[in-house]
C-alpha cells in the first residue's frame, strides 16, 4: 500500500511539474524509462535462412524508418509486460529478418541479434496524448526517433510500451523500411497482438513462410561508389527542421458528401487525396511543376498473387505530372489516379524497373536544378486504409487511435 501511495504522489508531482514547465514553453521529458531489453526469437533461425536478400525496392528504402503508435484506454495489468515480451519472441521466429542486422546494401544477416524493447511510465493520462498532437509529447512514446534507429543502433525493429497513470497503454513500433512496408507492419502488429492475447501464446493461427525472396523479381543494384557524389548524398537526406505535424479530422458525413460531389463512387482515400491535392496546388506559384506520388500494394497484382501476409517492400510508387497551366478538378483527379492504378498488372510489375533504372533515376534527380524557371514540387501521400492496424487487439480491445509519425530518411 505504501509503495502505491508513493507512485500516486510521484505521478501527481510529475504532472504538476510538466504543466508548470509547459506554461513557460520549456521542453521537458515526461517519461520514465523502467527497463530496456533485447528480445530474441524464441527459436534459432535455421542456417539456410541466415541471409535475407534485398530487392531493389528494399534498397531504395535502406535509410528510412517509420514508427506506428497504438493507443489503448485501459487493460494493462501486472502480467501484460511478460505476455508482450513472450509473444514478441514467438512472432519473431516467423518475421526473423526483424531480429537480424543489415549487412550491406544487398542483404540482412538473420543472426537473431534481437529487437529493442523499452518500457516506460508516463506522467500523464492517455486522453491527453490522444488530444495533444504536439510532436514533443508524441516523441516521448517512441523508442527511438526514426533517424536514430538507422544511425545509432543496429536494430531493424524497436518497441516502446508506455504505461499511463490512468491504466492506458501506448505501444510504439519503429520499423526499418528496408525490411518492411506498411502492409508488413500492419500484419506484423496484428499477428503479434493475436499471439499476445492468447493465454497459451499459440502461433498456430499465424501464417507460416511470410518471408519470401523477391530479389529475383526486383533484382538489387550495385550502389557502390555513390558516397563520393555529394548531391546524391543530399538527395538521400531530409531535414527535420522543415517538417510539421498536423492532424486533420474529417467527419464521416463530410467525406460522404465529398464522395457524392466527385461522383463515380470514389474511395475514401481518393476523395480525401483529391481534396488535399486541390489545397496544395492552390498555393502554387508561377513556374511550379507538381508531381504527385503514391504507393500501391503489389501483392494481389502479381501472377500468381502473393499472400497479403508476405514480408518486405512489395509496392510500386506511381507518379503523375501536373503542369502549371493544367487545372484539375476533383473528378478528373480521381480519374487520373484510377488510370494509373489500372496500369499495374503482373507484366508491369516485372518490367517496372529495368536493370539500372533506379540508379539512373536517382542520379538524374541529384543533378536536377530546381532553381530554374520550372520548379518541380513533389507531393507524396500514402494511405493505411484497408490495412488491419485497428485489428491489433493485445487482449485489451481494439486501439482507440493508431497513428504514424514522420518517417525519416537518414
Give catalytic residues, as residue numbers: 177, 393
> Using CA atoms, how far apart are residues 117 and 114, in angstroms rounded to an integer?
9
SS3 41: coil
> Using CA atoms, how far apart are residues 297 and 300, in angstroms rounded to an integer?
8
- The DSSP output letter for 311 is B
DSSP string for residues in 183-250: HHHHHHHHHHHHHHTSTT---TTSPS--B---TTTS-----TTGGG-HHHHHHT---GGG--------
DSSP string for residues in 123-176: SS-HHHHHH---HHHHHTT-SS-HHHHHHT---SEEEEEEEETTS-EEEEEEEE
Backbone angles phi, psi at 282, to 5 degrees: -70, -20
Which three cell numbers, joined as nine digits, stand for 263? Answer: 461522383
Point out which residues pair with 109 in neighbouring strands: 51, 101
Q: How far is CA 155 from the centre of its chain?
A: 15
Residue pair 185/108 in contact by the 8 Å Cβ criterion: no
SS3 43: coil
- The DSSP output letter for 111 is -
Q: Select from 174, 146, 154, 179 the least CA-distant residue to 62.
A: 179
CA 359, 104, 177, 281: dihedral to nearest 10 degrees? -20
**Torsion sign (Cα): 386, 389, 393, 399:** negative
Amino acid at each position: 500500500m505504501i509503495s502505491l501511495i508513493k507512485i500516486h504522489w510521484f505521478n501527481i508531482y510529475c504532472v504538476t511539474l510538466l504543466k508548470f514547465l509547459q506554461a513557460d514553453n520549456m521542453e521537458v521529458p515526461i517519461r520514465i524509462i523502467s527497463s530496456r531489453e533485447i528480445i530474441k526469437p524464441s527459436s534459432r533461425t535455421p542456417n539456410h535462412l541466415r541471409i535475407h536478400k534485398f530487392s531493389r525496392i528494399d534498397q531504395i528504402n535502406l535509410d528510412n524508418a517509420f514508427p506506428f503508435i497504438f493507443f489503448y484506454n485501459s487493460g494493462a495489468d501486472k502480467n501484460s509486460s511478460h505476455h508482450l515480451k513472450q509473444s514478441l519472441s514467438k512472432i519473431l521466429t516467423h518475421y526473423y529478418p526483424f531480429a537480424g542486422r543489415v549487412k550491406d546494401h544487398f542483404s540482412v544477416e538473420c543472426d537473431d541479434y534481437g529487437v529493442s524493447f523499452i518500457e516506460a511510465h508516463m506522467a500523464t493520462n492517455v486522453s491527453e496524448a490522444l488530444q495533444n498532437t504536439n510532436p514533443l509529447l508524441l516523441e516521448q512514446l517512441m523508442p527511438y526517433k526514426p533517424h536514430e534507429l538507422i544511425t545509432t543502433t543496429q536494430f531493424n525493429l524497436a518497441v516502446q510500451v508506455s504505461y499511463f497513470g490512468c491504466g492506458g497503454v501506448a505501444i510504439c513500433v519503429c520499423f526499418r523500411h528496408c525490411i518492411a512496408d506498411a502492409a508488413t507492419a500492419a500484419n506484423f502488429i496484428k499477428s503479434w497482438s493475436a499471439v499476445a492475447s492468447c493465454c497459451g501464446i499459440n502461433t498456430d493461427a499465424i501464417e507460416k513462410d511470410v518471408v519470401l525472396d523477391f530479389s529475383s523479381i526486383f533484382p538489387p543494384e550495385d550502389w557502390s561508389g555513390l558516397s563520393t557524389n555529394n548531391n546524391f548524398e543530399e538527395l538521400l537526406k531530409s531535414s527535420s527542421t522543415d517538417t510539421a505535424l498536423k492532424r486533420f479530422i474529417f467527419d464521416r458525413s463530410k467525406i460522404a458528401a465529398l464522395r457524392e460531389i466527385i461522383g463515380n463512387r470514389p474511395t475514401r482515400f481518393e476523395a480525401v487525396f483529391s481534396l488535399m491535392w486541390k489545397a496544395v496546388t492552390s498555393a502554387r506559384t508561377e513556374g511550379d511543376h507538381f508531381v504527385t506520388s503514391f504507393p500501391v500494394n503489389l501483392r494481389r497484382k502479381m501472377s500468381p498473387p502473393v499472400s497479403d501476409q508476405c514480408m518486405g517492400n512489395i509496392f510500386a510508387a506511381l507518379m503523375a505530372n501536373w503542369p502549371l497551366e493544367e487545372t484539375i478538378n476533383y473528378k478528373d483527379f480521381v480519374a487520373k489516379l484510377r488510370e494509373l492504378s489500372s496500369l499495374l498488372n503482373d507484366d508491369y510489375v516485372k518490367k517496372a524497373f529495368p536493370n539500372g533504372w533506379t540508379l539512373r533515376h536517382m542520379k538524374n534527380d541529384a543533378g536536377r536544378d530546381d532553381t530554374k524557371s520550372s520548379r518541380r514540387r513533389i507531393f507524396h501521400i500514402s494511405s493505411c486504409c484497408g490495412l488491419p492496424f485497428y485489428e491489433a487487439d493485445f487482449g485489451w480491445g481494439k486501439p482507440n487511435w493508431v497513428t504514424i509519425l514522420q518517417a525519416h530518411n537518414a
